[in-house]
Structure 1
Amino acid sequence: MIADPDCPFCAIVQRDDPDVREVYRDDQVVAFFPTEPAVLGHILIVPRTHVPFIWELRDEDAEHIGLLISRMSRVIVETIGAEGLNVIQSNGEVATQSVNHVHAHLVPRWTNDAIGRIWPPETHYSEHAKDEAWDALRGACRELRL
C-alpha cells in the first residue's frame, strides 16, 4: 500500500493512531469514527492506499468503496436507528476537503439534529448557464465507456 508519512489517514491505515475507533477493515479500506464526529455514529471510509482525490482512484477501489458505503449505511440505519443519512465526499480545499486522502463521510441524521441543512435554500442560475453546463458535461460523458 502506498502511504504518505504526513497524512493522518495513512497513520490510521497503518494502525499508528491508538485513539482511533475503527469499525471495519479489509484489504482495500478502513472505516472509523472521526475524532470530532458531527453526530454519534458518524463514520469515515478511506482507501488503504493514499489517493488525494476521487478522480485519481483506481476503478476497483472506487467500486469497493461504493459497495461499502451502501452496506455500511444499512448497518448504521439498522443498528443505531438513524432516520436518514448523508453521504458526503469532498475533493479540494474549495469543496471543504480538510485531509487530502479520499474519504467518504457516512453521517446518520435525525429530526432536529445539530447539523441542519447542507444545501442552499435556492439558487439563481440562468437557463442559458444551465444549458451550457449540461451540453459540456453531456458531451464529455458520451466519451465514457463503462
Structure 2
Amino acid sequence: MTRGSGSAGTNPPVTLVTGRDREPCPFCSPEKDAVVFCTALWYARWDAFPASRGHLLVIPFRHVAGYFETSPEEKASLSEMLTEGKRILDHRFSPSGYNIVINCGSAADQAVMHCHVHLIPRYAGDPDHPPGGIRGFVMDRCERVCMNPLA
C-alpha cells in the first residue's frame, strides 16, 4: 500500500463526464495529496461531506458506475482496501464501530456515478437514530417492513 503517492500519480489524467450532470467526474483524476493510501486498482480519500470524523471513500481508479460493474480483480482487492482503511482509522480516530456503505444507482442515492465505497467510523455516544443517511433509511424501512411485510 502506498500512502499519498504511487498509482494516483502514475495514472494518465482522465476526465469522464457523468450522464446525469455532464460535469467532469470528480473521482477519475485524484490529486496526489488527496490520496490517503492506494493499491494498483483502488485509492482512498477523505469524504468531502463526512457523515462522521474519519469518513473515508474507497474508489477504483477505473471509471465504472457502480460496484456491480467492477471487475473480479477489483472486487477481490476491495477487502484489502477496507481492512487497511480500518487499520488507519483505528489508529488515528479509535472509533467504536463502522458502517460500510455502497450506494448503487441514483434510486439508491448514489450522487457521483463512479463507484465508491463509504467506510464510515462510528463512535460511542452517536445518536441511536441520526437523521438521513443510510442508517436513517434502514431504520425507517425496518419499521415500515415490520408493520407491512409487503412494503
The two structures have a TM-score, normalised by structure 1, of: 0.72
Query: Partner residue of 2:51?
Result: 38
Deviations 1:38-95 (A, max 9, x none): 2221100000000101111100011111221123223312331101111111100111
1:59 is matched with 72
Question: Which residue does the alignment assign to 1:116?
Answer: 130
> Separation in 2 of the partners of 1:94 and 1:56?
17
- Check if 1:7 corresponds to 2:25: yes
User: In structure 2, how many angstroms separate the alpha carbons of the residues matched to 1:28 and 1:55?
Assistant: 15
My pick for the range that moved more, 102-111 or 116-125, is: 116-125
Identity %: 25
Residue 28 in structure 1 maps to residue 46 in structure 2: no
Question: Which of these two proteins has the greater Rg computed from alpha carbons?
Answer: 1
| Residues matched between the structures, number | 123
Post-superposition CA distance 1:90-125 (Å, at most 9, x none): 100111100001100111101233682702252235
Say which of 87, 109, 114 aligns to 1:101: 114
Write the distance in 1 (CA, Å) between the matches of 2:97 and 2:130: 13
1:89 match: 102
**Contact 1:77–1:84 (8 Å) recurs in 2:** no
Gaps of 5+ in 1: 130-146
CA distance in 2, matches of 1:76, 1:113: 17
Superposed CA RMSD in Å reads: 2.6
Distance 2:130 2:121 in 1: 12
Hey, what's the Cα distance between the residues in 2 that align with 1:113 and 1:67? 27
1:47 aligns with 2:60: yes
